[in-house]
Structure 1
Amino acid sequence: MAVKKIRIQDFLSELTLFNELNDSELDDVAQASVEINVDRGNLAFQRGDPCNGFHIVVCGQVKLALVSPQGNEKVIAILRPGQSFGEALMFMERPYIMSAQALVDTKLLHVPKTAVLAQLALDYRFVQKMLVSLSQRLYELINDIEAYSLKSGSQRVVDYLLQCNQHARTSSCHLECSKAVVASRLNLTPEHFSRILHGLCTNRLIRVNGRAVTIVNIEKLRGYQGRILP
């Protein structure tokens, strides 16, 4: 795997959590942090491993998933560069309850708990940003519970496509990973996910070519409830 080395201070200074630290503080965090290269398909950690810090995705893509003893998997997040994970478990001093797998060749930065606690003791702004980060995770979790409990499969897929479209800022977007992984993230079977995509195509709301999705009629897509449209 060929992933170029980074200057950790520069990378950290671009992140909201660290962008108000001075050079000396950035140096302290950078010196304590460790770069981890994870080949596609390999695990950065698995359920039961100790959590003594948190990870930030430098480049690549990471799948966080719960895996049952029978091997069944539920994807709980797909993380892109700049996103972090593991903060809450780090503070709770509990082992990981999920696994983290690289979907492509990935570089992670592991920031140890000791470095985080040192900054929390020094800077109230850092405390506030950490609280905002943890609150954002709780907000996202509640949104997920709402979607799984109160929205149909079709509504979850439509919401996902609209979100992808918003990030892409064009009528075309690209599924961020395989359809099976996206389906699990949306709490759907791959077959159900494919049927919903087919229904959206039949209603001339989207076009699908592999992972490429083009939204044909965004207004009708927003109102789609899984029925055949006139």
Structure 2
Amino acid sequence: MPDSQQPSPPRLDWRSLSGQAGLDERELRAACRRRRYRRGDTVFHEGDPAGPFHLLDIGRVAVRLTTLLGDVSTIDILQPGDTFGEQTLIHGAGDRSATVVALDRVETLTLDAATFDELGARNPAVQRFLLMVLSNRLRATSHQLLEARFLSAEQRLAHCLSRLAHMFADESTDVIPLTQTDIASMTGVTRSTVNRLLHQAAADGTIEIARGRLRVLDAARLHHRARTI
């Protein structure tokens, strides 16, 4: 069972992973095409034909899936240093497995399968880099499954809010641009439970609740709660 007093393990940045794989970041960047998105833009939709692999360089994105009941569920928030769309480098043709939406100004470095193969033919470190990206993804997913299995609703929510507060800490207003429904789907907690727990946190001055977003008022208390709840 994971220790609830331990923070979630940090995801490894693709820039550090490239170095660990022996791949020069400058070579990787030179092989990529930069793409830019405005807040609210959809990078790609679930079910779209497979496209390039994305290295998130600037901004944050939400990853969303359609449930069996037809609802749209936010399953993760990614920040600079994260990656998405790597399945296209493995399977080639196919469909996107999720929808990715820009939460603010976003820039990604993209690498299509053909360019990846050409780069890999010149430099074996490219294949090691992909393996490390996939290993990093598996590690994060395994931790999420452990949290869902062993932590209480209060603990999962505290960990989620602490991570989001850290992720959006560079914003001058400390605003987390997510709805309570987003947070409920990310934590596997019911919407009503999230509403109750968030209002408790608002009552003690930890957060401020607004329509479609949260504002962190006391990040230190939030991080402490995630470690000790």
Q: TM-score, normalised by structure 1?
A: 0.72
Distance 1:200 1:222, change over 3 A: farther
- Is the Cα contact below 8 Å between 1:88 and 1:134 reproduced in 2? no
- Is the Cα contact below 8 Å between 1:65 and 1:99 reproduced in 2? yes
Distance 1:108 1:148, change over 3 A: same
| Coordinate RMSD, CA, aligned | 3.2
How do 1:133-144 residues align onto structure 2 when only pairs under 5 Å count?
133-144=133-144
Partner of 2:178: 178
Residue 116 (structure 1) aligned with residue 116 (structure 2): yes
Distance 1:68 1:26, change over 3 A: closer
Write the deviation string for residues 148-200 of structure 1: whole angstroms up to 9, x where unpaired. 2322211101222343566689xxx9354323323322223443222112334
Structure with more relative contact order (C-alpha pairs < 8 Å, separation 6 or more): 2
Structure 1 portions without partners, runs of 5+: 1-13, 225-230
Structure 2 portions without partners, runs of 5+: 1-13
Once residues 38 and 167 of structure 1 are traced to their aligned partners in structure 2, the CA distance between those partners, rounded to angstroms, is 19
Once the two structures are TM-superposed, the CA of residue 107 in structure 1 deviates from its matched residue by: 2.7
Residue 90 (structure 1) aligned with residue 72 (structure 2): no
Residue 212 (structure 1) aligned with residue 215 (structure 2): yes
* Greater radius of gyration (CA): 1
One-letter identity of the residue aligned with 2:57: V
Once the two structures are TM-superposed, the CA of residue 28 in structure 1 deviates from its matched residue by: 5.5
How do 1:35-184 residues align onto structure 2 when only pairs under 5 Å count?
35-68=34-67, 71-93=70-92, 94-164=94-164, 174=174, 176-180=176-180, 181-184=182-185
Once residues 63 and 29 of structure 2 are traced to their aligned partners in structure 1, the CA distance between those partners, rounded to angstroms, is 29
The percent of aligned pairs where both chains have the same amino acid is 22
Once residues 29 and 41 of structure 2 are traced to their aligned partners in structure 1, the CA distance between those partners, rounded to angstroms, is 30
Paired residues, number: 204
Once residues 22 and 178 of structure 1 are traced to their aligned partners in structure 2, the CA distance between those partners, rounded to angstroms, is 32
Q: TM-score, normalised by structure 2?
A: 0.72
Question: SS state of the match for residue 128, structure 1?
Answer: helix
Question: SS state of the match for residue 108, structure 1?
Answer: strand
